[in-house]
Structure 1
Amino acid sequence: MTPEIGHFALALALALALVQSVLPIFGAARGNILWMQSARWSSLGQAFFMGFAFLALMQAFITSDFTVKNVVENSNSLKPMLFKVAGTWGSHEGSLLLWTLILTVFGAAVALFGSNIPLALRARTLSVQAWISVGFLTFMLLTSNPFDRVFPPPGDGQDLNPLLQDVGLAMHPPLLYFGYVGFSIVFSFAVAALIEGRVDAAWARWVRPWTLAAWMSLTAGIALGSWWAYYELGWGGWWFWDPVENVSFMPWLMGTALLHSAIVTEKRDAFKSWTILLAILTFSLSLLGTFIVRSGLLTSVHAFAVDPERGLYILGLLAVSIGGSLALFALRAPTMEPGGLFKPISREAGLLVNNLLLATATGIVLFGTLYPLFYEAATGGEKLSVGPPFFNASFIPVMLPLVFAMGLGPYLSWKRADLAGVLQRLRFVAVLAVLATLVTWYLAEGGPVLGYLSLMLAFWLFFSTLREWAMRIKLFEAPFPESLRRARNLPRSSHGMTLAHAGLAMAMFGFIGSTVWKSEEIVFVRPGTEISIAGFDVTFEGAERVRGPNYFADRGTLRVVRDGHYVTDLFPERRTYPVAQTTTTESAIRSTMAGDLYASIANPAAEDESAQGAWTLRILYEPLVNFIWIGSAMLVLGGGLSLSDRRLRVGAPRRKAAKPLALPAE
């Protein structure tokens, strides 16, 4: 009975979304306060019914209700409880339910916490948000009902994809969706502002917290997915330019540009059209990603490869959303006032360069992702692969100037900056960056020139960020208690910017180190085989069969020695899931700040007669790779620190009418 109630809750949510999509926006046009206020209650009602439906599906997974088709296809009675819960969003239907739930949660959050937003703008924003809800709720109810029954019910389920039965990936989709869908409310704000014909500093102040929250969540989701791929897939890499990785990365790049553009609109009343356009494009890229992974256009461990007819529905939704919003933008944008003027050397100009580079980088990733699909369609099915060589050759040269601009930008003043004075303050930073790179070159003993150039720019960003923060609090220039007082009084958003920029530099250390100085060996091994890599001597001592709750595994044992001293034992596994009839790799990793020693094993090789009875061992040394996760955490914490700034939580103050001057008595 619970699945039927969950299905009915979806229908009630759709009914409320239909009302919300019409009544508040007409109320704003007519000045009807009651109609505008209805958006608050319909938003809360939508979130309530969507939450109920989601919990109903989760209950079916927890109790292993195999009368529900979704549970049959994505669960099993032997599966650990955590992964039964994660199975709720592990399928196309379940993930779509989570997607729509988050969509309504963001609408409800604006209804609850947007009391400082003008009533008409809030009503229009929530109406636009309801338009999106209507699209996804009708898609779910008509083509992707998560509560479909199956009779007679089977004795057990088919199990969730074993690759997804991991703690990291259990949390990856919710974080990613909070980022994807979080940009929907920014899109709704942008369309509402275009309908209203008013974009100003106050609007940017209202939009920034929602943009920042979505960006933080998307950052955390991408980092968690990268970490999962690193230790779970057995390839020893953290990024593969997989199309589904790309479709999450593109909204992140555009959202980063949006975040910086909104700052200019708030501070200087400039970049209005640019900020609106970025808000539209960021969410459009989120919708594009949803279409790609659900249309059957590609097959990936990340994707929901379903029947293309469902993809056509999302394609139609994509066309209406993007086409309609861009048409409205083309109509309204020319009427927007240009805002504050600025010189070519200024903080505004620096942020403009930042946004243009980010938009160019997004375009490169978009081209590389979609080109194989267009090529296959144009050639009648001939396949083409666009992989790391293309992206590394085209994306990295665009991003390196961006890193340089990030180190320079915070030193520039608004409207007009003294470039000579800025460079004077940064001479010490440039010297430090060069010296740190030379020390690395001496220690590493070799490597490509581009690697050292990238590393020097990472040092430049790190040292310039710390220098700018130190200048703000007059560290080493004033008594320490005075510097401490200044640090306490500094806005949290300033601390957040410092932490985020330094975090990107830290992540770059990991990107560069694990790519440029990576060591790898792939060999056939038998008990007693010894391999030397990066100063470590690794001995394969054999493999044994072990059992898990819903799998059995071949577990290898590796003894690691360095300079004659015992270091650790590593236990890589090759797991087999009988129900799903799938095997997975469980890597063994010895992690330090200097780097990771990474090992994985494959089934005994059968093709090569000389390898009979042997195992395939893949062993790598990944220098500095943990800086990627440290830097990602700093990015998220920096965003959270900025979000906690009272100026963002309170929002823009309402303007009060001036009191009439009292005339002197005659």
Structure 2
Amino acid sequence: MIIELGHYMLILAFALSLVQSVVPIWGAQIDDNRMMSVASPIAITQFLFVGLAFAALTHAYVTSDFSVQNVWENSHSTQPLLYKYTSVWGNHEGSMLLWVFILVIFGAMVGAFGRNLPPKLKANTLGVQGWITAAFLLFVLVTSNPFHRIADAPIEGRDLNPILQDVGLAIHPPLLYLGYVGFSISFAFSIAALLEGRIDAAWARWVRPWVLTAWGFLTLGISMGSYWAYYELGWGGYWFWDPVENASFMPWLCGTALLHSAIVMEKRGALKVWTILLSILTFSLSLLGTFLVRSGVLTSVHAFATDPGRGVFILILLVAFIGGGLSLFAWRASMLRQGGVFAPISREGSLVLNNLFLSAATAAVLVGTLYPLALEATTGAKISVGAPFFNLTFGPMMIPLLIAVPFGPLLAWKRGDLGAAMQRLWTALGIAILTVILVYGYVEGGPALAPLGIGIGVWLVIGSFAEIQLRSGFFKNSFSKAISRMFGMPKSVWGAALGHLGVGMTVIGIVVASSYQLEDISIMKVGDSRTIAGYTFTFEGMKESSEHNYSDVAGTFRVTEGDKLVTTLNPVKRVYNTRGMPTTETDIYTIWGVTQLYMSLGDKQDNGAMAVRIYYKPWVTFIWLGSLVMFFGACFSLADRRLRIGAPARKGRAKQAASTA
């Protein structure tokens, strides 16, 4: 009965989405406040209905109701409770329900917290959100129904894919979807603005919190997926330029450009057309990622292998929303007024430069991702585009962008002074150059350009706080006054500084870990030792054990540095009973919070020996710590009252009160 109720809730939500997609927009066209006012309650009610449907499916997984086909195919009664919960979105049907659930969450948030939005803009925005919701609810109901019953219920389920039975699955997909789907709001705002024909600085301020929210969650989602692949797959890598990885990376790059473009539009009323286009393209790339993962055109550890019919349905949605959005943009863009003029050397100019490089980088990743698919579809030839291509195209475009980042916040609006900005960055430049010299002088091995990459990372880290130093007057004012001025700064200033700091940390982590990591892959018997980076790994034995739904073999390795015991590592080779599928469970020891000793087991040999991978990865944690710092930067910016939707209205009321007095 609960399952049927969940299915019925989805049908009701679909019916409401049809109403939401028509009535508010029509009301905005004829200026009928009653019709426009239905948007918010419908959006909130949709959230309740889809939430009940999601809860019904979750209940079926937790109670192991194998009369539901989706539960039977992706769960098992012996699974730990955590993985019964994560199994809900560890499959195509359940993950699409999560996609729609997050979609209606964002719609309900606009309905509940967008009280200060102009009525027409709010009605049109929620109406466009209703189009998206209706389309994906129809997709779920027609092709991907998670509530389909089995006539003769099996006694036991087929179990979840073993590599997905990990705590990372409880975190990675929801965060990624919050980013993917979150950009639907900026898309809806843009289409609504095009429908109304009115876009101004207030629009940019209203849309920026939603862009920041989606960007922050997408940053965390990509980072968590990277770390999951790093420790779960046992290859010792954190990024493989896999097409599905690229599918999430492209909207992040485009969303980063959108975030900076919206700043120019808010502050100077410029780049209106470009900001709208970026908003449409960012969500379009999110839809493209959804298509790649679910169409069956890719074979990837990240992808859901689904039937071609679903891929065709998503392709139709892709063409409708991307083609419709770009067509509306082409029709209405000429009607938009352009903003103020600015010099090339200015803060606006630096943000335009940021946009150009990010857009070009996105295009490079897009070509590298889609070209093999297009070639295979047209000629049947199969090629692989991997790291060499992306390193030669994406990497060089990032270098000038990263060098330019610290200059932006130090340049004035409209017309800046590059020399004055450089004077404030002498310290950062000096420390970066000193770092390069020290790395060249004292670190052996590695690529010749690696120290320069580290220097660029240090330049970003030190330069990210140049604006804070300038505003606070450190080294000019007294210490107490400087501290007081620091705490009085707008939170968005701190947010930008933390965002740039996080990028610098990630750059340092990528360059150091990629350039100076050490690797030893060998066959080891009990008693054998291997030494890497001064650490000796001694194989002390193996232990077999079994749990409810798997059996495993764990190796015991004593790690010493000279005569000092550092730690004991226990990597595991695990086989799940139901599917008979092996997985690798790595063991990782972190040194001083930045460097990691990494071990994974391969296959057992006939003579009782084990294949063993040992990695020494210096500063590798900076890759993910930098992502966390970027997310905290987004949170700081969101905490700034000036960036919240209510800020313009409050400012307006304050000015009105002042003029009245």
| TM beyond 0.5 | yes
Matched with 2:3 is 3
Residues 1:637 and 2:632 are matched in the alignment: yes
Amino acid in structure 1 at the alignment position of 2:430: V
What is the alpha-carbon distance in structure 2 between the residues aligned to residue 419 and residue 179 of structure 1? 35
Q: Which residue of 2 aligns with 1:391?
A: 390
Secondary structure, in 3 states, of the residue corresponding to 2:276?
Answer: helix
- Which position in structure 1 is the counterpart of 2:237? 237
Partner of 1:401 in structure 2? 400
Q: What residue number does 1:429 align with? A: 428
On the 8 A contact 1:164/1:170 being kept in 2, the answer is no
Matched residue type, 1:291: F
TM-score (norm. length: structure 2): 0.97
Task: Establish whether residue 622 from structure 1 lines up as the match of residue 607 from structure 2.
Answer: no
For residue 584 of structure 2, give the secondary structure of its aligned residue in structure 1: strand
Distance 1:605 1:390, change over 3 A: farther
Q: 2 CA distance for matches of 1:535 and 1:441? A: 21
Residues 66-75 or 585-594, more deviating: 585-594
Aligned residue identity for 2:428: V
Q: Cα offset for 1:480?
A: 1.5
Q: CA deviation at 1:653?
A: 2.1
1:335-371 superposed Cα distances (whole Å, 9 cap, x missing partner): 2111011001001010001011001111111111111
* Paired position in structure 1 for 2:112: 112
* TM-score, scaled relative to structure 1: 0.97
3-state SS of the aligned residue for 1:652? Answer: helix
**Corresponding residue for residue 412 of structure 1:** 411
Q: Distance in 2 between matches of 1:268 and 1:48?
A: 40
Residue 400 of structure 1: how far off its partner (Å) = 1.0
Corresponding residue number in structure 2 for 1:72: 72
Query: Equivalents in 2 of 1:373, 1:144: separation in Å?
Result: 24
Deviation at 1:564, TM superposition (A): 2.1
- CA deviation after TM superposition for structure 1 residue 427, in Å: 2.3
How far residue 594 of structure 1 moved from its aligned partner, in angstroms, is 4.5
Q: Distance in 1 between matches of 2:124 and 2:178?
A: 22
Give deviations 1:269-307, integer Å, cap 9, x for gaps.
001001000000000000000011110001212111100
Partner of 1:496: 495
**C-alpha contact (below 8 Å) 1:573/1:586 kept by paired residues:** yes
Task: Tell me the equivalent position of 1:103.
Answer: 103
CA deviation map 1:142-167 (0-9, x unaligned)? 11100000121111101111111111
Residue matched to 1:609: none
**Match runs of 1:55-204 below 5 Å:** 55-204=55-204
Letter in 2 for 1:449: A
Residue aligning to 1:653: 649
In 1, the alpha carbon distance for the partners of 2:584 and 2:656 equals 69
User: Could you say which residue in structure 1 is the equivalent of 2:271?
Assistant: 271
Preserved CA contact (<8 Å) 1:169 1:224? no
Contact in 2 for aligned 1:86/1:170 (Cα 8 Å)? yes
The answer as to whether partners of 1:70 and 1:93 remain within 8 angstroms in 2 is yes
CA RMSD of aligned residues (A): 1.4
The aligned residue for residue 323 of structure 1 is 323
CA displacement 1:363-415 (0-9 Å, x = unmatched): 111111111111111222x3211111111111111111111111211111110
Residue matched to 1:256:
256
Tell me the CA shift for residue 467 of structure 1.
2.7
Given that 2:464 and 2:501 are in contact with CA atoms closer than 8 Å, whether structure 1 keeps it comes out as yes
- Three-state SS of the structure 1 residue aligned to 2:649 is coil
Equivalent pair of 1:254/1:358 in contact (CA under 8 Å) = yes
State the shift of 1:425 in Å. Answer: 2.2
Contact 1:232-1:587 at 8 Å conserved across structures: yes
The answer to whether the Cα contact below 8 Å between 2:186 and 2:210 also exists between their aligned partners in 1 is yes
- Describe the superposition over 1:402-452 as per-residue Cα deviations: whole angstroms up to 9, x where unpaired: 111112111111100111222222223211110012122233123223212
Q: What residue in structure 2 maps to residue 530 of structure 1?
A: 529
Q: Which amino acid aligns with 1:598?
A: Y
Contact 2:90 2:169 in 1 (8 A): no
CA contact (8 A) 1:347 1:415 kept: yes
| Residue segments in structure 2 that go unaligned for 5+ positions in a row | none
Once residues 68 and 631 of structure 1 are traced to their aligned partners in structure 2, the CA distance between those partners, rounded to angstroms, is 42
Give the 3 Å change call, closer, same or farther, for CA 370–491 of structure 1 in structure 2. Answer: same
SS of match in other structure, 1:541:
strand
Distance (whole Å) between structure 1 residues aligned to residue 604 and residue 656 of structure 2: 82
2:444 alignment partner AA: E
Q: Alpha-carbon deviations, 1:9-53, whole Å to 9, x = none?
A: 000000000001000000001111010000011101111100000
Distance, in Å, in 1 between the alignment partners of 2:416 and 2:80 is 59
Cα contact 2:594–2:622 (8 A) shared by 1: no
Structure 1: any 5+ residue segments left out of the alignment?
607-611
Return the offset for 1:529: 1.0
**C-alpha distance in 2 between matches for 1:600 and 1:93:** 33
2:391 partner letter: N
- Whole-Å Cα distance in 1 between the matches of residues 494 and 269 of structure 2? 23
User: 8 Å contact 2:46–2:104 — kept in the other structure?
Assistant: yes
Match of 1:355 in 2: 355
Given that 2:406 and 2:466 are in contact with CA atoms closer than 8 Å, whether structure 1 keeps it comes out as no
What SS does structure 1 have at the residue aligned with 2:238? Answer: coil
The answer to whether the 8 Å contact 2:27/2:33 transfers is yes
Contact 2:178 2:217 in 1 (8 A): yes
Letter of the 2:331 partner, please give it: L
Amino acid at match of 1:419: L
* Paired position in structure 1 for 2:454: 455
Report the equivalent of 2:585. Answer: 586
Distance 1:50 1:422 in 2: 52
Give the aligned length. Answer: 655
Q: Following TM superposition, by how much is the alpha carbon of 1:468 offset from its aligned partner in structure 2, in angstroms?
A: 2.5
Are the structure 2 counterparts of residues 594 and 116 from structure 1 closer, same or farther at C-alpha, using a change threshold of 3 Å?
closer
Percent sequence identity is 52
Distance across 2 between alignment mates of 1:538 and 1:443: 26
1:480-538 Cα offsets, whole Å, 9 max, x none, are 21112111210011111111111111111111111000100110110011111111111
- The amino acid that maps onto 2:157 is G
Residues of 1 paired with 2:353 and 2:106: CA distance?
A: 31
Q: What is the aligned partner in structure 1 of residue 485 from structure 2?
A: 486
Following TM superposition, where does structure 1 have runs of at least 4 consecutive aligned residues deviating by more than 4 angstroms?
654-659
Give me the whole-angstrom Cα distance separating, in 2, the residues matched to 1:272 and 1:353.
Answer: 16
Alignment check: 8 A CA contact 1:121 1:196 kept: yes
Q: Amino acid of the residue matched to residue 651 of structure 1? A: A
- Measure, in 2, the Cα distance between the counterparts of 1:587 and 1:389: 27
Q: Secondary structure at the match of 2:527?
A: coil
Cα distance in 2 for partners of 1:209, 1:49 equals: 26
> 1:84 is aligned with what amino acid?
K
Map of 1:40-59 to 2, 5 A cutoff?
Answer: 40-59=40-59
- What is the SS of the residue equivalent to 1:238? coil
> Which whole-Å deviations, capped at 9, do the CAs of 1:568-599 have from their partners, x for residues lacking one?
11000001001122111000111123511100
Kept in 2: contact 1:69–1:148 (CA 8 A):
yes
Q: In the alignment, does 2:474 pair up with 1:475?
A: yes
1:605 Cα deviation after fit? 3.5
- What secondary structure does 1:653 align onto? helix
Shift of 1:658: 7.7
Preserved CA contact (<8 Å) 1:201 1:268: yes
- One-letter amino acid of the structure 2 residue matched with residue 306 of structure 1: T
C-alpha separation in 2, matches of 1:65 and 1:441: 62
- Cα distance in structure 1, aligned partners of 2:120 and 2:211: 21
Query: For each residue in 1:134-187, what CA deviation from the matched residue of structure 2 results, as whole angstroms up to 9, or x when unmatched?
Result: 110111111110000012111110111111111112211000000000000110
Amino acid paired to 1:653: A
**In the aligned structure 1, how far is the partner of 2:648 from the partner of 2:263?**
13
Q: Aligned to 1:449, what secondary structure does the other structure show?
A: coil
Structure 2 counterpart SS, 1:470? helix
SS in 2 for 1:603: strand
